[in-house]
């Protein structure tokens, strides 16, 4: 993976984890905030997916599903899918020697 591909994946990952997921987690979800954050994720995936090789089309398909879940009002499934998209984006952004998400690291002894 090239440095531009990694940095754009990191940028998209941060929008998912710092924007979309927090907007989905609130008790009373602000539909406008979710729509805005989902739009920000969409803009990045649509723009940068060509840099991500075979992962680009998969993320575009996931994005289409996410938009359908948003329109259907299925917050729970949208949250699950957003987590999966974030995990994939994290892996794309990671250097070749680091393939695990920090939350997947084993606990220290």
Distances in Å between the alpha carbon of 67 and those of 2, 9, 34? 29, 19, 11
Q: Are 85 and 59 in contact (CB under 8 A)?
A: yes
Name the token pair of 79: 């949250």
Sequence spans of domains, the chain: 3-94
Predicted local confidence at residue 87, as pLDDT? 95
- Pair 59, 49: CB distance under 8 Å: yes
Chain-centroid distance of CA 37 in Å reads: 11
Q: Give the tens place of pLDDT for each residue, 61-102.
A: 999 999 999 999 999 999 999 999 999 999 999 876 555 555
Please choose, from the candidates 38, 43, 64, 53, the residue with its C-alpha nearest in 3D space to the C-alpha of residue 88.
53
- Considering the entire predicted model, what is its pTM? 0.83
Residue 2: the pLDDT is 83
* pLDDT, tens digit, 9 for 90 and up, residues 35-50: 999 999 999 999 999 9
């Amino acid at each position: 993976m090239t440095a531009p591909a990694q940095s754009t994946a990191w940028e998209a990952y941060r929008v998912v984890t710092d924007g979309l997921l927090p907007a989905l987690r609130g008790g009373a979800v602000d539909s406008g905030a979710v729509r805005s954050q989902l739009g920000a994720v969409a803009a990045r995936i649509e723009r940068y997916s060509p840099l991500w090789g075979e992962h680009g089309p998969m993320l575009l398909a996931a994005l289409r599903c996410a938009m359908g879940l948003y329109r259907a009002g299925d917050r729970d499934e949208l949250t699950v899918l957003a987590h999966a998209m974030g995990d994939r984006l994290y892996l794309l952004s990671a250097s070749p020697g680091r393939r695990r998400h920090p939350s997947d690291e084993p606990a220290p002894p």
